[in-house]
Amino acid sequence: MSTQTQQQIIQEEPIAAIATPVGVGALAVIRMSGRGVPGIADKVFRKTGDPDFRAEDSKGFVAHFGNVYDREGMVDEVVALVFRSPNSFTREDMVEFTCHGGPVVVRHLLQALFDAGCRPAEPGEFTRRAFLNGRIDLLQAEAIGEMIHARSESAYRTAVNQMQGNLSRKLDALRQRLLESCALLELELDFGEEDVELQSRDDLRQQLMQLSDEVQKLVDSYRQGRLLSEGVATVIVGKPNAGKSTLLNTLLGEERAIVSHMPGTTRDYIEECFVHEKTMFRLTDTAGLRESDEEIEREGIGRSYRKIGEADLILYMLDISQPEWQQEAEVIREFHDTYGHAKLIVIANKTDLAPDSEERILKLREETGCNVAGVSAKRGEGIDVLLGLMGSMVERLDKLHEASVLVTSMRHYVSLRNAADAVENALSLLGAYAGTELIAFELRSALDYVGEITGKVVSEEILNTIFDRFCIGK
């Protein structure tokens, strides 16, 4: 973005919004940004002990104590913090008022600013202006939202890394190398019939192979990144009355699911989240797996299998106190073969009702080859052992937040996958001795796909989709 273009957009119409959660609190922050906001502040703010004070004359990063007034009189005592362009979050002039946190106080203060010349901010408009004015790139803007909504330590750390620009720098370096190769090919086309080769095809092939490997690594990192940002999709499955709903309630520490001795109580899946240490698990309690003639229950069981197919971790639960507990070993082996050992934990529930539960659990391990946790979900016994197993199966995730580069967004993943395909297409064309214009076209496509992530190439639709998810004051 050129300096001239930046100066043209750096002071848009003034906006105002509350930047702290709505409700009763000790303090609230009201922020303004845009053209002439120091003058708007002067219409409502009077600095204590300085009747001649003007926010328009204030330097940036300076706080002033005083009162805000509306047409009816004083609204509240506030601290006014002035930021001057371009040294602010939006790169526009900004003023923030810290007032008392009552909703009536906030409403009066906002109305005073609206009457003085501001309009209400749209969702994410402050961050959107920061992006449009070159303060942050699009990936960093998304990372701010992810950091605010992070529900686990790992998700928070990953968002902070992205907000600091680690992934942006990696993508910029990849894009620069693509740009250099593409530029040479485009220059060759300019020479037309002179048959000039500005980069040897062997060198180009080596460079594109390296780029392909690097882009593919980023694509492959999405699975781990998704687990950190969205949580580990964990599905509790088993026959009716195995204790699945009781386990869900025990892990959540609340009565979230209905517990009954009647089979088929759970007709649809229930999904809730909980955090163990640094990892968030998205727990899904499913309908009991069995043959049923009842239409609604059959639909619930069908949904259970769909959730199982999407799971990162499967908790297969059985009632170890029942005489037919051994019959489920075959079903567990089928789960093992279908979904893999790395995502399956067997839970032997109701150990308190089986005096020989330890022997049964040992035999179950031998027959299935799976990790088995013996628990009494109703009494809360053995839950620590289960959590330890769950944690150990995803313990690699606790180290991933330290990595500088990790893809966590589906939007980024799709763009990178498209870029990887374009680079592979260019390599295939290169191997087939295709024309320069065809290879250049694929590299231009790869450039655009990478540029979509950081905002070098962006549409209004993408911007609206991203920033509409933000809160008003961000």
Beta bridge partners of 263: none
Helix, strand, coil in percent for the chain, rounding step 5: 50, 20, 30
What pLDDT was estimated at residue 87?
A: 94
Domains of the chain, CATH where assigned: 3-137 (3.30.1360.120), 150-221+406-454 (1.20.120.430), 227-400 (3.40.50.300)
The predicted-structure confidence for 367-401, as pLDDT tens digits, reads as follows 888 889 999 999 999 999 999 999 888 775 445 44
Tell me which amino acid residue 59 is.
Answer: K
The predicted-structure confidence for 258-276, as pLDDT tens digits, reads as follows 444 444 444 446 788 888 8
CA gap 198, 21 in Å, rounded: 58
Assess contact for 105 and 79: CB atoms under 8 A: no
Angle at 340 (CA atoms; ends 336, 344), nearest 5 degrees:
70
The pair of three-digit structure tokens given for residue 291, joined into one six-digit string: 């043959």
The predicted-structure confidence for 1-42, as pLDDT tens digits, reads as follows 333 344 444 579 999 999 999 889 999 999 999 999 999 999
Q: 3-state DSSP call for residue 212?
A: helix
CA gap 369, 337 in Å, rounded: 11
Tell me which amino acid residue 393 is.
Answer: M
DSSP assignments along 200-217, one per residue: -HHHHHHHHHHHHHHHHH
Q: What stretches in the chain show pLDDT beneath 50?
A: 1-9, 257-268, 290, 292-293, 296-297, 397-398, 400-402
Neighbours of 139 (CB within 10 A): 22
CA gap 269, 172 in Å, rounded: 43
CA gap 152, 279 in Å, rounded: 6
Sheet with 232-238, edge to edge strand ranges: 270-276, 279-285, 232-238, 313-319, 344-349, 371-374
CA gap 377, 348 in Å, rounded: 10
DSSP assignments along 138-194, one per residue: HHHHHHHHHHHH--SHHHHHHHHHHHTTHHHHHHHHHHHHHHHHHHHHHHHHHTGGG
What pLDDT was estimated at residue 7?
A: 43
What pLDDT was estimated at residue 288?
A: 60
Determine how β-strand 94-101 pairs with β-strand 25-33: antiparallel
Determine how β-strand 94-101 pairs with β-strand 73-83: antiparallel
Beta bridge partners of 80: 64, 97
CA gap 240, 358 in Å, rounded: 23
DSSP assignments along 24-57, one per residue: SEEEEEEEEESTTHHHHHHHHEEETT-TT--GGG
Beta bridge partners of 373: 347
CA gap 157, 376 in Å, rounded: 35
What pLDDT was estimated at residue 297?
A: 47
The pair of three-digit structure tokens given for residue 143, joined into one six-digit string: 């990372």
According to DSSP, residue 91 is labeled S
Q: Which of 260, 306, 309, 307 is nearest to 284 (CA)?
A: 307
Q: How many helices (H) and strands (E) does the chain have?
A: 18, 13
Neighbours of 195 (CB within 10 A): 7
Element (H, E) at 132: helix 125-132
What pLDDT was estimated at residue 227?
A: 82
